[in-house]
Amino acid sequence: MSENKPILVTGSAGFIGFHLASRLLREGQFIVGLDDLNSYYDTTLKQARLAQLQNHPNFKFIRQDIADDKEMEAIFQKHSFGIVLHMAAQVGVRYSLTNPRAYIHSNIRGFMNILECCRHTRVRHLIYASSSSVYGANRKIPFSVCDPVPHPVSLYGATKRANELMAYSYADTYGLFSTGLRFFTVYGPWGRPDMALFLFTKAILEGKPIDVFNYGRMQRDFTYIDDIVEGVLRIIDAVPKKVAVSGEEMSDSADKSIPYRLYNLGYGKPVELNRIIEMLEDCLDRKTEKRMLALQPGDMQSTYADMADFRNEFNFQPEIQIEDGVRKFVTWFRSYYKI
């Protein structure tokens, strides 16, 4: 990160983008944050995150929809970014069942604009958010980036897999240096209100029952936000040079110089949803009524990251254990909502 160029963080008012921008600002980087501030969830929280960033003199905010190709081209031409951290996306598995076009708009058309703009302005390294949702109906545990992923069970997961393939094609055809990160159930302070940890905490404090899908037997590889941010920072200067291709990837590409990388970024230890509820009840010193429900369409029964590649290449292992992470989240929640 020694070059004297601004870093673009898309989705900077979102959960992961906000924390990435905050960390980079603390390290002395100049950050251009981009977000459309859409109303998928409470924009008050997004504005509050943004206000934190705007207190810093090295932060510039641009409100922009990434699917607007002309405006995106103008932004890239004006700022000449060296690094692009693309965290903006339409998120949420269940929302994709009722609003599929939002995912094509942001995750396909928007990502296409990111690729085109990075290509034409010779961005040194594009790092983009993929998701554990790409594994879908895979039964091999833990999930490895070497595994074929032909069965996403949600449109959200399908669009994230499409992003990986699009980035691969741009790396192969145009030499665009890119790294995709499959994030696993990120949680922590300033988290998303549509995620289970947030929903459960809010309901328990309000004395309301909680909906527990798959009867609480779902397992998730919960990964604390600080570990995610540290993982992203480890790879910023690790510009990819070659890709080893296996599984469903093009077998004749193994010996070609393709500047493309794909990694899992998770804690590497799945936790059952029932256990998370127990932790929250302990932290909040309250019991809750549980409405036990079947698995919803689009939901995965379990996620579990094989972190071997990332750990070996970057000497990195997530540190925040789930008990500590849940406690930190609850402390933030009480403080933010003045409870």
Residues catalogued as catalytic:
156
Q: Which two tokens stand for residue 105?
A: 């708009």
Give backbone dihedrals phi and psi of 154, rounded to 5 degrees, phi first.
Answer: -145, 155
- Which amino acid is located at 17 in the chain? G
Selection from 77, 230, 245 nearest residue 164 by Cα: 245
Selection from 186, 189, 193, 187 nearest residue 332 by Cα: 189
Query: DSSP letters along 151-219, please?
Result: --SSHHHHHHHHHHHHHHHHHHHH---EEEEEE--EESTT--TTSHHHHHHHHHHTT--EEEEGGGT-E
* DSSP structure class, residue 135: G
C-alpha R_g of the chain: 19
**Continuous segment of H or E residues that includes residue 61:** strand 59-63
